[in-house]
Amino acid sequence: MNECYYDKRMDFFYNKTNTDTVDEWTGPKLIVVLCFGTFFCLFIFISNSLVIAAVVKNRRFHFPFYYLLANLAAADFFAGIAYVFLMFNTGPVSKTLTVNRWFLRQGLLDTSLTASLVNLLVIAVERHMSIMRMKIHSNLTKKRVTFLIISIWAIAIFMGAVPTLGWNCLCDITACSSLAPIYSRSYLVFWSVLNLVVFFIMVVVYIRIYMYVQRKTNVLSSHTSGSISRRRTPVKLMKTVMTLLGAFVVCWTPGLVVLLLDGLNCTYCGIQNVKRWFLLLALLNSVMNPIIYSYKDDEMWGTMKRMICCSSEDKSQDRRSSRIPSTVLCRSTDTSGHYIEDGIIQGTICGKGDLGDKGNS
């Protein structure tokens, strides 16, 4: 019967698998990685929060597609949390972790990846339902969308917890991988192949849907008198989703290939030299998604811009109102007219910005 090592710290498993965590995570390299990681995580938190708030605030986004898009932003926000936890529990600190804490560290990353992947799958289904009927949005009810979102996170949490539930090498040291010292190589092969196959299927499905939409749009445009912008909306939404999918595949595929090579016990592939850079590439995906939302969707960008503008305007008005009582005591009534004039001018500028945004949308 194999001996199990549940009570060991991670240094025991790193030494068994000959994995070095000190040399590559100290000195200037560690500082650079932490600085970039901190900046990216802050951007992830702020930008994805804006996306979620935009969907909640703007009634034009109260449709299944945008609810799922907001859930994808929530998955990216969760990825930011996972990366912050990773930054404080990596490098030399890795060897001091308990088994459960290390499982938590990796489980957060696996959960964020699965949540994004399953969410893109559900968006593909939603787009297929609407496109086949040549509608901009599907007929999914809010209850069904809520059920889908809950299901996405249930699947993500389960997949992130699979190694903790038993598919690990704590009782079979010879089966441990190099990159993940307490993950079984068989699990890494399963995990990486599953995700790569899903990537391939989604790319094929999205390309077929996009080609169908473009063909149908070209046919209908010559027979209908509807507005050009309305006819192009399904194509624009598909372009947004395909850009998101492309960024997701490009950012995550290298890391999954490295995990697959580790699972296949490729000792001469040099995977230890590239693992941290591919991890940063995966982090970039959560940075890119909010940029894609705002660049591809004028309405989304306009809503986010108005929220930022109104927030800064409210703060400036609060500061001005706090100064008014003392100023009124010292100045004549003409000065109060100056404040009113300033408010009118600023309100006019903000109004022009809103009109410009509405015109663009």
Angle of the 275-296 helix axis to the 298-330 helix axis, nearest 10 = 80
Q: What integer pLDDT is reported at residue 119 of this predicted model? A: 92
305 residue type, one letter = K
Count CB-CB contacts under 10 A for residue 311: 10
Look at the pTM and tell me if it is higher than 0.85. no
**What is the structure's pLDDT at 343?**
42
For 338, other C-beta atoms within 10 Å of its C-beta total 11
**Predicted pLDDT of residue 330:** 38
> Would you tell me which CATH number, out of the four given (1.10.274.10, 3.40.50.1100, 1.20.1070.10, 3.40.50.720), belongs to the domain 10-309?
1.20.1070.10
Contact 262, 176 (CB under 8 A): no
- The whole-angstrom separation of Cα 122 and Cα 68 is 8
What is the number of other CB atoms lying within 10 angstroms of the CB of residue 18? 10
Q: List, for the chain, all residue ranges whose pLDDT scores fall below the cut of 70.
A: 1-2, 18-27, 132-138, 217, 220-235, 311-361
Each residue's pLDDT tens digit, 127-147 = 777 776 666 666 778 888 999
Q: What is the pLDDT of residue 203?
A: 85
- Chain-centroid distance of CA 289 in Å reads 6
What gap in Å lies between CA 297 and CA 300, rounded to an integer? 5
Please give the pLDDT value at position 316: 53
Q: Which residues are CB-contacts of 6 (< 8 A; sequence separation ≥ 6)?
A: 99, 170
Among the listed residues 167, 170, 175, 163, the one whose alpha carbon sits nearest the alpha carbon of residue 6: 170
Give me the pLDDT at residue 212, please: 78
Domain boundaries, the chain: 10-309
Count other C-beta atoms under 10 Å from residue 182's C-beta.
24
